[in-house]
Structure 1
C-alpha cells in the first residue's frame, strides 16, 4: 500500500496510455476510494445512501475523473483501452475499495445495453445523456435475482440444472409491456440507481424463456425496498424492487425471448469473471497491508517478515494472488472480447475464475488477520508506516460476501462443470 509499484508487471506490451490510466486509478483508489469505503462501512445502510452521504461525493468525483465512462463508445469519448488494459484500471479501483469499485462497474450497464441493443431513439433518450454528462446523476443496476430464484437464475440455461418459474413477469398489452412481481434484496446499487435492467419471464413457465427490459426507476408502479443491512461490501448499497402494473413501451424490451438464452449465456460468462476481478482487489489490499505491517512490526527481536513462518504465509498469499491475476486477466480479455465481436465466451472459465479467486481472496484476508494478530480485529484498523491505515476485518467481511455474490461458489462450480467439453 505504501509502495509506488505494489506488484511486478509481467506483461511488457501495455501501452503508455493504459499505464497512465492505471496509475491515475491507483492514486484515486488509495487516496479517495479507500477512506470513503471505510466511512461507509461504519454507517448504517440507510445512512450510507442518505442525502449528504459520502457515497454521492465519491460517485461525482469518479465521474469527473473519468471512471464512470471508461468503456464509453468511441462516439461518446471512450478511452479506447483494450479489454486487457481496462482490467488493469479496474483492478486498481477494486484494490482501493471493492464495494465502491462495483458501483463504478455497474453504473454504465443500462446505458451500454441500450447503446448495443436499443433503438436509435432510445440511445438518444438514455445513452447519450449519460455518456455526455448531461445527466451526471444517472446510474444503473442489473436486477436479475428473484426472491425465490437466487443463484439458479444463472443456471436456467444449463441443461442439467434447468429451473422453472419466476417472481417477475411481463405480458404484452397492446403496444405496451406490463411488469408485475418482485426482485430480491440483493440487487447491487438498487437504492441509488436511476435505471435498471430487469430480467423477467415472458411466459411465466420457465426462467429460460424471458426478456431483459430497461426500467426507469421513477416510473409509476416501481417501489424500492429499504437498503439492506449486511455483513460485508457495505459500501455497495443493495436492495430490491416490486413492480405493480408497470407499463413500458415496446422498445423498452431490449432482449426478447429468442435472444434471451444467448444474452444470459453472455451475462454469465461476463458476470463471474467481473466478480472475480473485484474480489481480487480485496485480496490484494489485504496482502499489501500485511506485507507492509510485517515489515515494520518487531516480534522476537526482529521484524515479523524475517520469521520463516511469516515468510511462508506471505509467499502463499503472493503466489495464490498472482495465479488468480493471471487467470482472470486471460478470461476477462477473452470473454469480453468474444462479447464485443458477437460471440459467446466461456462459462466454464468464467466460473473457474470466480470460484478460484473468491476462495483465494478469502484465504488471503484470513491470513492477513493472522499475521497482524489481535490488532487486525480492531474496527479502527492497523496503522502502517507513514500513517496509512488498513482494515483487515473489513476486508475479510468483503471477501466472504464475494463467495456468494452473483452465484454461490459451489453452484457456480456445478454450472462450470456442466459446460466442460
Structure 2
C-alpha cells in the first residue's frame, strides 16, 4: 500500500516510544540460547522481531506471549535440526542466525525478498564461519544460503568490520558456546561500534563473559559457557523515535515522547544532541523528550557512523535547515535494505531537496522555505527511507505519495498511527 503525505503545519500530542527493535531481537536470541525460561517485558512488535520469534521457534525454543511480555524456554547449545529458515527481510536476524545455524547439521536460509535482503552481501561472515569448519553454499555471498555445520571450532577467528558490525555480533553470540576459547580479530575498520556495545551489554546481562579491547578490534571469549535464563525489560527505540523527533523539529509543534532512556547505549540517541545543535527547542529529562518546534533549524556536521539508523531522519530535517549540512562516515548506509545514500537522495531530489552524495557522505543544502513536493516517490522497500521521506512530505508545498509504504512495518508498524495521533495528515491508499 502507498501513503499520501499532505503538508501539515503543526504537530502536537504525546506518544510512548516504540520498544527497541535492536534490543528485542538480541534478547530473543539470548533467551533462546539459554537453558531454562527467560522473560522479556515490553518486546517490540515489528517484522524484524517477528522474524526472530519465528526462527527461534523453528529452532526449538518454546515461545509464549501476552500483551506485556514474552516467556521463552530456550534450546541452549542444541537447536533443533531444521531444513529451512525464513528470516523475511531482516538482515540482522539472518546474520545472527547464520552463526547459530552453524550448530545445526544442514539448514538453508531461503530468499523471499530478492530485491532487498536478497541483494545484500554476507561474504565476510561466510568467510569467518568457513574458517571455523562450517561448510556453506551460497550465491556470491547472497541468499539462498545453505549451512552445513554441527561442530564449528573456536580459536583465532578473523572477521571484517568495514561492511557491517552484524557479522562481529553474530560471532560474539556463537563463540561462548564452543568448546574452545576464541580470539576474534576485527580486520579493517569496524562500522557501527555503538551497536556492538549493545550486543556486549545484552551478552553480559545473559551471564556471558567476553573480554573486549577498548577499540573493539579484538575480543577474547572463554569457551564452554552457558547462557543464563534471565528477565529483561526492553527500552524505548531511538531509531524509530528519531523520525518522530525530526518531524516535530521541521514543523510548528509541541510533542512529547516517553520511554527514551537518557543514558541509553543506542547510538541513535545522538538524534537528541543533533537536533539541539540544529537549534530545535528541545528538552530531555526523566526519559522524556519534548520538542516545541518552530520549523527553524541551523545546518550541522555529524559523524553518522555513531547513529546509523537515525541518519536519514536527520538528513530529512537538514533539508529545511539554514545553511549546508554534512553527514560523513556513512558508507555503510549503502549496504542496507537499499542503498540509503544513492536511492534515498534520488527520491529527495524528486521532492525538491538540494542534496549531493559522496561515497561516504551526504551533503544537504538546506531550503528553509520548504520544497515543492507534488510527486510520487519510491521508498525502495526500506522502512527507514519511508519514515524519512514522510518528514519531507510534512513540509512540502504539495502532497507526496510514498509507494509501498507498508514496509515501514519492518521496524515501526504503527509509525503512521503515531503521526496521525500527533496531527499529521497522512492517508493510506491502494
TM-score by shorter chain over 0.5:
no
Task: Tell me the TM-score normalised to structure 1 length.
Answer: 0.29
Q: Tell me which protein shows more helix as a share of its residues.
A: 1
Greater length-normalized contact order (CA 8 Å, ≥ 6 residues apart): 2
Task: Tell me the TM-score normalised to structure 2 length.
Answer: 0.28
Q: Tell me which protein shows more strand as a share of its residues.
A: 2
